[in-house]
Amino acid sequence: MTAQQAAQQAAQETAQRNAVVELVRIAPIADELAARFAAAGHQLYLVGGSVRDALLGRLSSDLDFTTDARPQQIMELVKGWADAIWDTGIAFGTVGAARRGTTVEITTFRADSYDRVTRNPEVQFGDSLEADLVRRDFSVNAMAVDLASKTFVDPYGGMQALAQRLLDTPATPEESFADDPLRMMRAARFASQLGFTLAPRVRTAMTEMAGEITRITAERVQMEISKLLCGAQPRLGIELLVESGIAEHVLPELPAMRLEIDEHHQHKDVYQHSLVVLEQAIDLEEPDESPDLVLRIAALLHDIGKPRTRRFTPGGGVSFHHHEVVGAKMARKRLRELRYSKEIVEDVANLVYLHLRFHGYGKGEWTDSAVRRYVTDAGDLLPRLNKLVRADCTTRNKRKAAALQRSYDDLEERIARLAEEEDLAKVRPDLDGNEIMKILGIPPGPMVGKAWQHLKELRLDNGPMAHEDAVAALLSWAKAQGLGAPEA
């Protein structure tokens, strides 16, 4: 062993000891639980993500354990100790419990087999910790702490992989991904969340087995995409999905944006541009708030309509007319197929549809009416739209970039001024439905809605109207519609 190798080994052993000490310090509940299991003659290990996160200094209040005890024995051991117990996962050997604000999941050693048609295992309980660990997704999640002896258990090199920030598999990646193809997307997610790189053999297996992801339900895929996008470095995960070919099956619109650059370089690489916009949108999020999934999806997908709308023009130019309209439809279709909620689907589609609107603002030529319409059309999405539009500036021309930011600063100042004057967030006609019916002498029905919409358009064009002016405008409109004079 060289001096360098010896130093590395010593450093790893120190990190292991420190991790055990930290786990015991942070999670005294683990000690309590271990004592109960030991008294009953059973082993108990802290395992998986809990150990990994402790080594990374980010242990949460959710702890995972594994044991040789069978599920019913686990239930008996936590009775009288836990504040709450649930057995929804007991068919898979898992019992959940909570005590003093900490949630624990305790799972019997597993030695499952897979049909390799679905990702659902045939549950088999095992008797060996090593056999349990080898079936886990990545070696950084296949480490354990023996809570009885306070010793570190790492049969598959998880500590070294963690030190190298490397994702590798305990078994061969081909075996691991054949058992559960969703692990390929988890690899991309961990790249985003933890900044890890993939072992060459893992990257190769992902590329060769990309089509296996079609065995996974849309709901599961959606969950992994969402977690990936909400990670600290989602670009890393997205690039893995695209480069491995997995994106062709789950988000084909992404690789489709890798348009060939025309010889005159009249347009950017849309895919790379979208990744930069995503990163810049993230930079605009509030630092003390949770990741904004809607904003991040919209930033990633805002230009997905460009491949379908690309047209080459005489002289070597290129255009993407109405790509925002096409893109909104494409985003809506893809997100529905991924089983996103109706709210997320509509919010993202509307942001994609609206993201070009600002570019008509120029140097401030919009009238107040146009500003009102911009705000009204955006509605509750206005703060996100502001961020998306600012993030969409990726030009390397510093003068042009500065001019765009000044223009948006000016627009936001005008929005703020008009909002203060007119309460733009609550733009309504100057007459409500009851007043319209009373003035026109008509019953509830479609005509009331048409009158209301007409008055709203006037409100957007002209700002607030005096009551008598609104009444006059309503009567003028009613006359044009052929409505008779109201009864006296």
Q: Where along the chain do its domains lie?
A: 3-161, 165-251, 283-426, 433-480
Confidence (pLDDT) at 266: 47
Which of 136, 67, 139, 70 lies closest to 104, judged by CA?
A: 67
Look up tokens 């993939």; give the residue. 198
Confidence (pLDDT) at 262: 42
The C-alpha atoms of residue 189 and residue 53 are separated, in whole angstroms, by 15
| Residues in CB range of 84: below 8 A, 6 or more apart | 97, 98
The CATH superfamily holding the domain 3-161 is Beta Polymerase, domain 2 (3.30.460.10)
For residues 305 and 320, the answer to whether their CB atoms sit within 8 Å is: yes
- Fold observed for domain 165-251: Hydrophobic Seed Protein (1.10.110)
Report the amino acid identity of residue 349. A
Q: Are strands 166-167 and 197-198 parallel, antiparallel or unpaired?
A: parallel
The C-alpha atoms of residue 63 and residue 78 are separated, in whole angstroms, by 14
Which of 280, 308, 284, 292 lies closest to 348, judged by CA?
A: 292
The C-alpha atoms of residue 352 and residue 368 are separated, in whole angstroms, by 24
CA distances from residue 275 to 64, 235, 236, 322, 462 in whole angstroms, order as listed = 35, 6, 10, 21, 40
The beta-strand segments (E) located in 398-471 are none
Confidence (pLDDT) at 475: 83
306 HSE (CA, 13 A, CB side): 22
pTM: 0.80
Confidence (pLDDT) at 20: 65
User: pLDDT tens digits for the chain (488 residues)?
Assistant: 677 766 666 766 676 666 666 666 656 788 889 999 999 999 999 998 888 888 887 777 788 999 999 999 999 999 999 999 999 888 889 999 999 888 999 999 987 666 666 666 677 888 899 999 999 999 999 999 998 888 889 999 998 899 899 999 999 999 999 989 999 999 999 999 999 999 999 999 999 999 999 999 999 999 999 999 999 999 999 999 999 999 999 999 999 998 755 444 445 689 999 999 999 999 999 888 899 999 999 999 999 999 888 888 777 777 788 899 999 999 999 999 999 999 999 999 999 999 988 877 777 678 888 888 888 888 899 999 999 999 998 888 888 888 888 888 888 888 888 777 665 555 566 677 788 888 888 888 888 888 888 777 777 777 777 778 778 888 888 888 877 555 44
